[in-house]
Structure 1
Amino acid sequence: MVTAFDKSDARPAHIDAILNGLDRYNPETTTVFQDYVVQQCEDRTFDCYANLALLKLYQFNPHLLQPETTTNILAKALTVFPSPAFSLSLSLLPAHTQPFGAASTGENTASATNNNNSIPQQTSDFVESIQKLTHLNSLLESAQYALFWSTFNSDDLYADLVADVAGFEELVRVRIAVEVGKAFREISADVLAQWLDLKCREALQKFVADVCGWEVDGTVVRVPKNRENEARSEIKSERVGVDMFGRVIRRAFEQPA
């Protein structure tokens, strides 16, 4: 059964009470939500609804925005792709951090913050972090998994951005494996190793067997049949009774006036 968007099995009772009451718009609850983000990073859970509530508080109260918490929310959203979590989170961030159009340049960033004294002076590092996480999300959403890992490993900043998210790489590998399992019945072990960034054959075999429950047959990884990857034909028919066209047929035989 699919969990509703605003539900989370791991959500504490006090967070649920805030989300279901008027306190979700109270700036004093910002620290509570921030602590909850830290908890999600540590115990590998994800509560999109609560994280969006925190970003909405940041939107209403720009002076409370915490760059590290914001990037942690985006990093956590990467671990649940494909889902709208990342794009929804991104839409609530300040305009000068968006990776679209001229607003993403450093010059416009400075002017945007200087034009509104209520917005804290955001460093170029924060904006760059948003851009890099957005790029990673684009690669995942477009199924460019090998390029995702090569990009992720190309800059130490990526590792710094996800350092607070426990098991980030493993969580992403699991999500990639889920998507592979939906589309393939068998796949080259070398290709899968690139997509999962598991260059050691022993590590690949262990992940495939223990985590995915798949079978490695020489140079090929075989994926069991499931509802998504099973090739099956569908015959769709529609019954059209004569009575549905009775009036048309009757009028065809009527004598003209």
Structure 2
Amino acid sequence: MVSASHWAQPPTRTELIENLVSGVDRYNPNNVGILEDYLYHQIRTEEYDCLANLAILKLYQFNPDLYNPDVVINILIKALTSSPFPDFNLCISLLDERTANPNADEPDPLPALLPILTSLHNLLQQCRFPAFWSLYRSEKAESLRDNYTVECVGFEDSVRGVVIRAVEGAFKRIGSERLSSYLNLDVGDVKEYVERLGWTVDGAGVISLPSNPDNQPVSTVVQENIQLSQLTKIITHSQVA
């Protein structure tokens, strides 16, 4: 799990980007090209910097002429796998409603892809992982795969990271077939995948997860200390009522 401090200030962020994100220059439209180049660096290297990407969307809000739908889609793709952080919703909140521009050289791909991206995000948030992969592999999402996520290095592994975080918090043991449907991997590949995580698989294909605070429920006993004077007031009040 990424810590809040790393989310706010990733160690891979350069001093130049830090100055653009944290200083008054974040509202300078002349810097949008630098931030867009930084986004594509994230796409190629599996790095991620939410605040820098939000700065791009804010510049698009203030300067509609700078709007680049491909950049917006790539920002949403990177935010998609940041669960459980609310990055995707933060990005959505900065998107303005746009009408089709009849003078544009090419149609805007965002209106068609935004509902798909939103559905994928919701399925991840709801831990409906097989449904996520079904939609992602569907013909409906073909344009998203062929034109965008194919360029995003490690996208599917990042989604699997979301799955693993959810499974770690909910299970102590899980069947290989069930986990394979969550990860969109063949059952034969699941064993190697989970062993890299330090999980063990028995002869029946049952995977055991290491204990952690989330998958180790601890019973608690709540004791209430009611004084006799308090009990007398309750009984008196009930008789009056």
The bucket for the TM-score relative to the shorter chain is 0.7 to 0.9
Distance 1:200 1:237 in 2: 47
* Alignment CA distance shift 1:57-1:238 (3 Å): farther
C-alpha distance after superposition, 1:159-214 (max 9, x if no partner): 1231221010011112201110100011121111001000241x11111111x221
Q: Does 1:45 align with 2:47?
A: yes
**In the alignment, which residue of structure 2 is the partner of 1:70?**
72
Aligned length: 227
Q: Does 1:197 align with 2:152?
A: no
Residues of 1 paired with 2:138 and 2:114: CA distance? 17
Structure-1-length-normalised TM-score: 0.80
Letter in 2 for 1:198: L
Q: Distance in 2 between matches of 1:241 and 1:9?
A: 56
Partner of 1:91: 93
Task: Report if aligned partners of 2:120, 2:132 keep a CA contact under 8 Å in 1.
Answer: yes
2:162 equivalent to 1:175? yes
Partner of 1:106: none
Structure 1: how far apart are the matches of 2:208 and 2:46?
28
Work out whether 1:214 is the aligned partner of 2:199. Answer: yes
**Contact 2:69-2:109 at 8 Å conserved across structures:** no
Identical columns (%): 34
Does the CA contact (< 8 Å) of 2:172 and 2:211 recur in 1? yes
Q: Distance in 2 between matches of 1:164 and 1:95?
A: 26
Alignment counterpart, residue 232 of structure 1, candidates 193, 210, 218: 218
TM-score, normalised by the number of residues in structure 2: 0.85
- 2:150 aligned with 1:163, yes or no? yes
What is the identity, as a one-letter code, of the residue corresponding to 1:205?
Answer: K
Deviation track 1:43-78 (CA, whole Å, cap 9, x = no partner) reads 111111111111000111111111111111110111
CA distance in 1, matches of 2:137, 2:218: 40
Instruction: Find the aligned partners of 2:226 and 2:59 in 1 and give their Cα distance.
Output: 55
For the structure 1 residues 239 and 47, does the alpha-carbon distance in structure 2 shift closer, same or farther, using more than 3 Å as the test? farther
| CA distance in structure 2 between the aligned counterparts of 1:227 and 1:175, rounded to whole angstroms | 18
Q: 1:7 is matched with which residue?
A: 9
d(CA) in 2 for partners of 1:90, 1:121: 25
Alignment of 1:119-158 (within 5 A): 123-155=107-139, 156-158=142-144
Corresponding residue number in structure 2 for 1:184: 171
Q: 1:241 to 1:46 in 2, by over 3 A?
A: farther
Contact 2:35 2:53 in 1 (8 A): yes
Q: Which runs of 5+ in 1 are unaligned?
A: 97-108, 250-257
Structure 2 distance, partners of 1:55, 1:78, is: 16
